[in-house]
Structure 1
Amino acid sequence: MRFSLAALSVLTLCQLTSCSTQSKDESSKTGNIAQEASAKSPAKTTPTDSSEAPAARPVAASRPSGAVSTGDSTLDSLTFAPPAGALLPKYRIFAYYGNPHSKKMGVLGKYPKDEMLKRLDEEIKNWQKADPETPILPALHLVATSAQGAPGKDGGYRMRMSDKTIKKVLKWGNDHKAVVFLDIQRGHAPLGPEMEYMTKYLKLPFVHLGIDPEFSMVTGAKPGTKIGSYDAADVNQAVKFLSKIVKENNLPPKILVVHRFTQGMIKNYKNIKLDPNVQIVMDMDGWGPPVLKKDSYLAYIQKEPVQYTGFKLFYDNDFRKPGSRIMTPAEVLALTPKPMYIQYQ
């Protein structure tokens, strides 16, 4: 039996967070999508993790002496620099997704920091065995702007994570020699200002960007009630934004991850313009049985190529249908084109 990926995914992928540590805005926000999509099992929060960082991974050199200043002493103290030049396709990026304030949003916040990072390293070993020829860079993919079920003071239906929260995850990445993605679920807010909010973080050479069409509510619907979309013009806006940061700060190319699991989430893909300063990854983001995920990858990623491709796996949701299971690394790497960005939620 065939299942609609949109029908399978829309509620589960909307399990966002009633964030509740560190920031007053994050702790007091109500009406979030997690409460609506998970009414029978409301999101639980995790305590602030103050344990020491694990030993550094020997995957990259130290920060170059000419590194750009962000204007923030805390950020400028982060010393990790990924390998020089463009990361793709020389490396495969392997990311854990989520938010440290929510156990339900993804594996990044499901476990205490040290356990999460240990699991990340163990999972990477499985993928390295499946493709020994391609080195893997670990990554943390933080939902840094979270769509919300309530409009908020400005009607944006989104909540930006606090500076403190973002810096915490950046430090995790820095200490673990992992690149970091800051993901935007814009809700009703314009994309431009949401990206501008991330500017000082994106000046760091190990920080990249993700944008999620599912929560780009161009129809005016409340996030979580409909699947949103981006047009090629929106993707081009993000590319232009990142390219400017790269050129102004003499950085290696940035990666832009664009999530997708339906035909309508990305419109006019042929009009997406490539830029040497930005590497675009179209990430197949839906959950369901392997046959459905493979079909969706073929229909929305392979048949509508942009540049590089990604694939998302779900520790919980890929098991939700009877007989379903999570795909193995070998199965994912047998896809054409072979995904260069792997994400686990």
Structure 2
Amino acid sequence: MRRTAVLPRPARGPAVPALALVTALVLAGCTGSDDGDSGGSADSGGSDDPAVAGAVTAAPDAARTLVPDADPVAAAVSTSRALYESSDVAVVAGGGDVDAELLGAVAAVGLGVPLLLGSGDPADVLGAELDRLGVQTVLAVGDAAADLVPGGSDDVDVVAVPADAEALAEATGLDLAEPTTVPDAERAAAVAGLAPDALPVLTAEAPPAPASPTETAAEGSETGASETGSEASETESEASEPAEATGELPEVQRPEPLEDVVVLASGDAQSLAGIATARAAGAEVLLTGGVVDPRGSAEVVERLAAEPTVVVLGADLAGAPGIDWKLDTVATGTQLPGGGQLLFPEHTLIALYGIPGSGALGLLGEQDLPGAIARAQQYADEYRPLVDNTVVPTFEIIATVASASAGPDGNYSAEQDVETLRPWVEAAGEAGLYVVLDLQPGRTDFLTPAKQYEPLLTLPYVGLALDPEWRLKPGEVHLRQIGQVDIDEVNQVVTWLADLVRENDLPQKLLVLHQFQVRMIVDRERLDTSRDELAILVHVDGQGSQPAKQTTWEVLHRGAPEPLYWGWKNFIDEDEPMISPQETIETVQPTPELVTYQ
């Protein structure tokens, strides 16, 4: 487990109180020490010229710092505390004033100083952070921002700037590029892309204009029209007056950038000010695209494998359950076939089913190993134009095969040796395939053979499938009865497999439950779907006519626990008829995450 610090919600009050120990994971504070030994802060900014304002950045002492604040004002303060020791200048924008926040972000990144948000409460956390930073001048962006700066300190000058690009450029001396209109969903990404030498004027997307009251205008009296026209003229006259800044901003010397600090955020707009402060400090910002699990981004996995100092920003991401072990997994750099460490919805798996060396049980064994890999890739290629996500060719290998005889162990199942399967499994992984080991356990429980294949299941690209059709009760034999399994037995496998993933810092692992009758999984509604280490998928593998298969598909979806993913099987010889890849994607709804061919 890496060293992790959690920044608690900033205390409200005029001064900075001692930080509370809010979690057992807190091992160190996030600001630098007084002797300058925190992440190179002694050389990270500031100015010896009293006429020039400066700032001092500092990488957090802990390898990871969590900023789980839900309140944007508090999140902005916490990010500032994590990355800055001091700053003579700070930018303040009114929380909720989108244009002011966007222009404030541009100013903060351009100047290299924190962006904070005003809340309107003079005793709020903003004043405490201004005091901690030693701020002497506040650049207040937006019509109401100056009023949001806490009073009570004669040493703090306020330079008020309207949310206007020309006024901001005049007050700061920054060279601003052409305006860029930013849709609501892209604000965080736009701010994350800011750099001191690339400062576009970011403006919010304007809301739709209200419908013109044509009839009302036509029915207005001459007197009323004249008065309205006069008022409009005065308004236009006022609007045409150039916006100006009040006060004078000192020259600001940028601090040294925090080049090996990575700030993770989901891209939620609540974290915009914190993202701006991170970019102002020179930290790299990576967005997870709205996904609140860092394992879902191939870019994040690759970057964090280099072991930078990490700050996780936002209640949705930093406060997500299991964030520490997920970051441990990300830090390994191991990726699934197709990228990232989450299976779905990023990927669609297209699988060949069967057993190596025999074509009797499916397509996989109809050719040698190189031929099987090529065939799986060919089937996957047919789906690439049909879906938007990444298509991954897959093997589903029958590891334990239902047997007509009891065998030496009396369990009516023939177990393939681990070392016999290893060449197929490892060659598939090297070729970019995912592999699923299928269990047909006979009269034994599912957990027993699952543990037998642990050496293969510790590979990052190998999942597990349970086939209740072949799970016999005492006295039953295959093909006379269709087997079934109680949910408690399934949940035992869920717990064991999820623990295996966690203990080995593995990417998310697939657990497939084969089912074509409701009775095959008893009490399925009690399936444990709480373990994020697994992606659990119900594979509807009935054969026959398409109307019958669609009915089974619909019935098995009823009352299914969540989250669950879904698989569909196409039987080449038994389906009447087998549908094409395009028909599979278009007619099987919701679209399956796994399509298997047998």
Report TM bin, short chain.
Answer: 0.7 to 0.9
| C-alpha displacement of 1:91 | 0.4
SS at match of 1:317: coil
CA RMSD of aligned residues (A): 2.3
| C-alpha displacement of 1:232 | 1.6
Counterpart in the other structure of 2:375? 119
SS at match of 2:555: helix
Q: What is the CA–CA distance in structure 2 between the aligned matches of 1:107 and 1:289, rounded to whole Å?
A: 20
Which structure 2 residue ranges, 5 or more long, are not aligned?
A: 1-297, 308-333
Of the three residues 320, 340, 344, the one matched with 2:593 is: 340
| C-alpha displacement of 1:328 | 2.0
Answering whether residue 565 of structure 2 is matched by residue 308 of structure 1, we say yes
Q: After TM superposition, what 4+ stretches of structure 1 lie above 4 angstroms from structure 2?
A: 59-62
Q: Report if the CA contact (8 A) 1:302-1:336 is conserved.
A: no
Structural mapping, 1:189-228, within 5 Å: 189-218=444-473, 220-228=475-483
Q: Deviations over 1:81-128 (max 9, x none)?
A: 532321111101111110012211010001233333222222212211
| C-alpha displacement of 1:297 | 0.5
Q: What is the CA–CA distance in structure 2 between the aligned matches of 1:152 and 1:257, rounded to whole Å?
A: 26
Answering whether residue 512 of structure 2 is matched by residue 245 of structure 1, we say no
Q: What is the CA–CA distance in structure 1 between the aligned matches of 2:459 and 2:306, rounded to whole Å?
A: 13
Q: Deviations over 1:260-305 (max 9, x none)?
A: 1112111111100111111110001111121111111011235535
Q: Report if the CA contact (8 A) 1:284-1:301 is conserved.
A: no
State which drifts further: 305-314 or 325-334.
325-334
Q: What is the CA–CA distance in structure 1 between the aligned matches of 2:335 and 2:357, rounded to whole Å?
A: 24
Q: What is the CA–CA distance in structure 2 between the aligned matches of 1:296 and 1:224, rounded to whole Å?
A: 20
Q: What is the CA–CA distance in structure 2 between the aligned matches of 1:146 and 1:84, rounded to whole Å?
A: 32
Structure 1 pair 224/172, CA: closer, same or farther in 2 (3 Å)? farther
SS at match of 2:538: strand
Q: Report if the CA contact (8 A) 2:403-2:413 is conserved.
A: yes
Of the three residues 540, 544, 564, the one matched with 1:284 is: 540
Q: What is the CA–CA distance in structure 2 between the aligned matches of 1:219 and 1:293, rounded to whole Å?
A: 30
Of the three residues 409, 412, 428, the one matched with 1:173 is: 428
Aligned residues: 268
Q: What is the CA–CA distance in structure 2 between the aligned matches of 1:220 and 1:249, rounded to whole Å?
A: 39
Of the three residues 338, 341, 352, the one matched with 1:85 is: 341
Q: What is the CA–CA distance in structure 1 between the aligned matches of 2:517 and 2:591, rounded to whole Å?
A: 20
Counterpart in the other structure of 1:26? none
Which structure 1 residue ranges, 5 or more long, are not aligned?
A: 1-58, 67-78, 319-323
Counterpart in the other structure of 1:229? 484
Q: 1:113 corresponds to which letter in structure 2?
A: L
| C-alpha displacement of 1:227 | 0.5
Q: What is the CA–CA distance in structure 1 between the aligned matches of 2:306 and 2:471, rounded to whole Å?
A: 39
> Which of the two has higher C-alpha Rg?
2
Structure 1 pair 127/65, CA: closer, same or farther in 2 (3 Å)? same
Q: Report if the CA contact (8 A) 1:157-1:187 is conserved.
A: yes
Q: Report if the CA contact (8 A) 1:80-1:174 is conserved.
A: no
Structural mapping, 1:1-345, within 5 Å: 81-82=336-337, 83-131=339-387, 133-218=388-473, 220-274=475-529, 275-306=531-562, 307-318=564-575, 324-334=576-586, 335-345=588-598
Percent same amino acid among aligned pairs? Answer: 28
Q: 1:337 corresponds to which letter in structure 2?
A: P
Q: What is the CA–CA distance in structure 2 between the aligned matches of 1:167 and 1:285, rounded to whole Å?
A: 26
| C-alpha displacement of 1:338 | 1.5
| C-alpha displacement of 1:141 | 0.7
SS at match of 1:183: strand
SS at match of 1:342: strand
